[in-house]
């Protein structure tokens, strides 16, 4: 059984990443089998509860107020609208519901209180609740946990050197501090990145190295292919290829064997055959539903057909906890 290690060196990860592709997939599939049921994929739904108008300058993001995109700024959604969305997500087979806001950070105000109400309501529906609200203090993380939050998503996005070229309004260290605060509150950590922004293989390796050497691996690692949105500085960039996605997913799977690796943004125009390669390489989670946060996602019916075709089943909610008790 491969070991769970947090002392990976960059050159060890580099060697894995550069393994010939077929061999890499085989290795990743082997590790995947040791730690997970390969017939199971977690189905998550995203909802943008506060869209657009964000003061940050993340170059990839259509929600930054600094870029002229087709995304307009909207206020925080009402509780009942969120409940309706979560009910729909549950009815269509999702077991995790992730609410995202275009905030630099959470602030202790009425909007934050409303988000805690949303968390309580969605948690009481038996869904794993996840939020991504920007930077958090330890105190805020604890409040969210007390409201029933299960996981918190905060991505490192890329390696530290490349990060500084795409975001200037907050530092890599700020991100790491938020991740620490989330851990201190005993929340499940969801943290990954994006490929296809113009970064080098070395930058991707830096990201994987940082993730795999955190004191504890994130329980969930989303791998996004950049969705190049009109109006952002990334407009017109060519999409990462399936081979780049597979290499990234497989390496993540091998260095963080017990984590859920999520095939996230960029799935929308992938044929089933390409998605199957990603599952083979160790991806075991997806976002379902017609939209990610602001961009289109795969049709639910097509995802259902794909699950049938590939013999995949949606993973149950709170599986990790259930396994601990049984
Ligand atoms: N504002 C919060 C934050 O940045 O932490 C939460 C929402 S933000 C949209 C969540 C994540 O979505 C980002 O960290 C980034 O990794 C991902 N993301 C945003 N725009 C994307 C795009 N165009 N393509 C791929 N991933 C994207
Ligand atoms: C993550 O890593 N990917 C999701 C989720 N975490 C929050 C977001 C993808 C956003 C893609 C662009 C959009 O739809 O706005
Ligand atoms: Fe704002 Fe998050 Fe988009 Fe950055 S990624 S601009 S913080 S919404």
Go through 112-131 and write b for each residue having 16 or more CB atoms within 10 A of its CB, e for each that does not: bebbbebbebbbeeebbbbb
Ligand nearest to the CA of 264: 2
pLDDT, residue 325, reads: 67
Cβ-based neighbours of 8, under 8 Å, separated by 6 or more = 209, 212, 213, 255
Ligand nearest to the CA of 49: 1
- Token pair recorded at residue 164: 């500084």
Any ligand 3 atom below 6 A from CB of 56: yes
Per CATH, the homologous superfamily of domain 10-325 is: Aldolase class I (3.20.20.70)
Cα of 60 vs centre of ligand 1, distance in Å, is 8
Query: Is there a contact between 166 and 60 (Cβ–Cβ < 8 Å)?
Result: yes
Cα of 61 vs centre of ligand 1, distance in Å, is 6
Cα of 23 vs centre of ligand 1, distance in Å, is 32
Q: How far is Cα 162 from Cα 87, in angstroms, rounded to an integer? A: 39
pTM value is 0.96
pLDDT, residue 2, reads: 81
Closest ligand 3 atom number to CA of residue 170:
7
Q: How far is Cα 224 from Cα 281, in angstroms, rounded to an integer? A: 15
Domain regions of the chain by residue span: 10-325
Any ligand 3 atom below 6 A from CB of 134: yes
Any ligand 2 atom below 6 A from CB of 224: yes
Q: How far is Cα 281 from Cα 31, in angstroms, rounded to an integer? A: 9
Q: Which residues are catalytic?
A: 54, 58, 61, 98, 130, 190, 262
Q: What is the pLDDT tens value at each position of the chain, 326 positions in all?
A: 788 999 999 999 999 999 999 999 999 999 999 999 999 999 999 999 999 999 999 999 999 999 999 999 999 999 999 999 999 999 988 999 999 999 999 998 999 999 999 999 999 999 999 999 999 999 999 999 999 999 999 999 999 999 999 999 999 999 999 999 999 999 999 999 999 999 999 999 999 999 999 999 999 999 999 999 999 999 999 999 999 999 999 999 999 999 999 999 999 989 999 999 999 999 999 999 889 999 999 998 899 999 999 999 998 887 777 777 66
Query: Which is nearest to 129 in space by CA: 65, 187, 173?
Result: 187
pLDDT, residue 326, reads: 63
Any ligand 2 atom below 6 A from CB of 222: yes
């Amino acid at each position: 059984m491969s070991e769970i290690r947090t002392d990976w060196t960059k050159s060890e990860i580099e060697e894995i990443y550069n393994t010939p592709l077929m061999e890499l997939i085989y290795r990743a599939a082997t590790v995947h089998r040791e730690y997970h049921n390969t017939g199971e994929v977690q189905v998550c739904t995203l909802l943008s509860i506060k869209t657009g108008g964000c003061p940050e300058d993340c170059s990839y993001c259509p929600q930054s107020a600094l870029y002229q995109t087709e995304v307009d700024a909207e206020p925080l959604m009402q509780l009942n609208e969120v409940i309706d969305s979560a009910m729909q997500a549950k009815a269509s087979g999702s077991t995790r519901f992730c609410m995202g806001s275009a905030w630099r950070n959470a602030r202790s105000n009425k909007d934050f209180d409303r988000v805690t109400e949303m968390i309580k309501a969605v948690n009481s529906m038996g869904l794993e609740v996840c939020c991504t609200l920007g930077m958090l203090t330890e105190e805020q993380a604890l409040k969210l946990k007390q409201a029933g939050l299960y996981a918190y998503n905060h991505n490192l996005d890329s390696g530290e050197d490349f990060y500084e070229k795409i975001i200037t309004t907050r530092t890599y260290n700020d991100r790491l501090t938020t991740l620490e605060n989330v851990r201190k509150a005993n929340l499940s950590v969801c943290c990954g990145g994006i490929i296809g922004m113009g970064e080098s293989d070395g930058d991707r390796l830096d990201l994987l190295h940082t993730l795999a050497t955190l004191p504890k691996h994130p329980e969930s690692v989303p791998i996004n292919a950049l969705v190049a949105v009109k109006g952002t500085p990334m407009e017109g960039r060519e999409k990462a290829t399936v081979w780049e996605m597979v290499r990234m997913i497989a390496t993540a799977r091998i260095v963080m064997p017990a984590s859920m690796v999520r095939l996230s943004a960029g799935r929308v125009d992938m044929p089933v055959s390409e998605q199957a390669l990603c599952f083979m390489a160790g991806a075991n989670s997806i976002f379902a539903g017609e939209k990610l946060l602001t961009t289109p996602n795969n049709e639910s019916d097509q995802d259902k057909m794909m699950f049938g075709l590939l013999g995949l089943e949606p993973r149950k909610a709170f599986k990790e906890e259930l396994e601990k008790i049984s």
